Structure 1
């Protein structure tokens, strides 16, 4: 397998959907808690990236194995296994290697932190694998948007914060004499969830846009996604509403002073995002307008990262 084929197999361009929540959590940890542990940052980044590539490779492999329709944009051009005529054994070996890297670095991160990281990591790995694998994969059900949004938008962000503040009683999990004790700082965890909502809805909408564009082919290939159940028109309305929820959430965060006032600037991105919503609504085509959902996600969330980073840097010089 060539390096170019590998990058296509793992769809490296889509990794921004996991890296952005990771960076958002990292800078929020610096802003709110003043904590940053470089070694934990690098270890989690390697595990996260390796596992994200694993799940994408599994998804492409399962799509290749279960495809009923052998022609169309999504089959010949999108799937690297078909496009580059990759051997199944090579693809499976790549999946096992990437998964092993993710597990090893996840264990190292657990040893450097605590059992909470292990518990969340195991659940996340299971969801990631069964998103595409198993008798009824999550991606072939009307739950793909929910799971991808929550686990990539919230869980990744939460972990990227927790690895720096695991000793601050945000969540503690102990096992002693056969007794499991779990304590959660409900207020702080809820605050982190509020911070994650723009990432949650942005990622959910990337999945929703993909399913809107592919609904006809998905039905042929036995993928009964959310769009199949609610219809294309209602899905397009949901697509718009989710972005509105994201911007309302940012306004609430500013009102509650959970984020720096500088994030007022993020609200200005609503102008181009709203325009992109209209363009996608009028022409939801995979090869032409799907990319707008990715651009919207980047505008909403990368702008937050940049502004929080600037505020943190400015505070550091004061």
Structure 2
């Protein structure tokens, strides 16, 4: 397997689900709470968390590729998978080996972080990894049920924000919910976009994803609603004075978000619909990064 094939295998568009919550969590920790340790140490912990969650997301993508092949889903899927096995002819055992490597790495790094910050990282991390494994594997993968968006949102959005904020604050605070809730929603939106794109193929293979349960049109309406709720969430807390008005820079993420809805309302071709994944990833990334920039700007102004 060459570098370009490995790059496709890890599905870089989905990696925003891992690093975006870390960025906004770190920005909240740095600007909204008193400093309890040297900034450089908090940044070191943040880097460790970032590497850990990125490798965990890569592992989820690799295992998803492997189990989609085993179930036969990849044989008729025009977009969404890397094609490492069905198109590039890479031995499934190679994919499986990389799945083990990328699963073990966050385990080792997670233990090191737990030793440095809190041993509560171990049960939380194990729960997230278990969710990641069950998302793609097992007799009834979560990704094939109506709970895929919720599971991925909680494991990759809610949990990552909380873990990152704890590394900066060494406490639990209700304010953690302010970035954690929209992160959960937007990570779920990435998965929902994926399932809307694969709607026909998933239905033909007996999957019961949330959008299949709701129906295609109501699935698009729900996706639009999730984007809008995430934006209104920011306006609400800014109006309450809990977060600075500069955080509203993140509202610019609505531009690519509405592009996603336009694509789904215009095209039916899975290859064209794959563009929706790109714009959802862009929207999610912009939301988190612009919010983080807004928080940092407020400390300067």
1:282 shift after superposition: 3.1
Q: In structure 2, do the counterparts of structure 1 residues 61 and 271 end up closer, same or farther at CA, with 3 Å as the change threshold?
A: closer
Residue in 2 that maps onto 1:86: 90
Q: Can you give the 5+ residue segments of structure 2 that lack an aligned partner in the other structure?
A: none
Contact 2:16 2:284 in 1 (8 A): no
Tell me the alpha carbon deviations over residues 150-209 of structure 1, each in whole angstroms, 9 at most, x when there is no partner.
22221111111112222xx42xxxxxxxxxxxxxxxxx23x2222233322222112111
Q: Can you give the 5+ residue segments of structure 1 that lack an aligned partner in the other structure?
A: 171-187
Query: Partners in 1 of 2:269 and 2:176 — Cα distance?
Result: 34
Contact 1:9 1:81 in 2 (8 A): no
Residue in 2 that maps onto 1:180: none
Residue in 1 that maps onto 2:114: 110
Query: Partners in 2 of 1:38 and 1:248 — Cα distance?
Result: 30
Tell me the alpha carbon deviations over residues 56-110 of structure 1, each in whole angstroms, 9 at most, x when there is no partner.
10001000110157234137x6332222211122112111111111110000001
Is 1:55 equivalent to 2:60 in the alignment? yes
Is 1:132 equivalent to 2:116 in the alignment? no
Tell me the alpha carbon deviations over residues 3-41 of structure 1, each in whole angstroms, 9 at most, x when there is no partner.
222111111332122101111101110011144413312
Query: Partners in 1 of 2:269 and 2:158 — Cα distance?
Result: 28
Query: Partners in 2 of 1:294 and 1:307 — Cα distance?
Result: 20
TM-score (norm 2): 0.89
Residue in 1 that maps onto 2:5: 5
Which of 220, 232, 239 is the matching residue for 2:216?
Answer: 232
Which of 162, 179, 203 is the matching residue for 2:187?
Answer: 203
- Structure 1: 4+ residue segments shifted above 6 A: none
Does the residue aligned with 1:115 lie in a helix, a strand or coil?
Answer: coil
Is 1:303 equivalent to 2:290 in the alignment? yes
CA RMSD of aligned residues (A): 2.1
1:252 shift after superposition: 1.3
Query: Partners in 2 of 1:272 and 1:74 — Cα distance?
Result: 20
Q: In structure 2, do the counterparts of structure 1 residues 271 and 113 end up closer, same or farther at CA, with 3 Å as the change threshold?
A: closer
Q: In structure 2, do the counterparts of structure 1 residues 24 and 285 end up closer, same or farther at CA, with 3 Å as the change threshold?
A: farther
Which of 18, 39, 45 is the matching residue for 2:50?
Answer: 45
Query: Partners in 1 of 2:192 and 2:103 — Cα distance?
Result: 26
Bigger CA drift: 195-204 or 240-249? 195-204
Contact 2:9 2:84 in 1 (8 A): yes
Q: What is the total number of aligned residue pairs between the two structures?
A: 293
Query: Is the radius of gyration larger for structure 1 or structure 2?
Result: 1
Residue in 2 that maps onto 1:294: 281
Contact 1:21 1:157 in 2 (8 A): yes
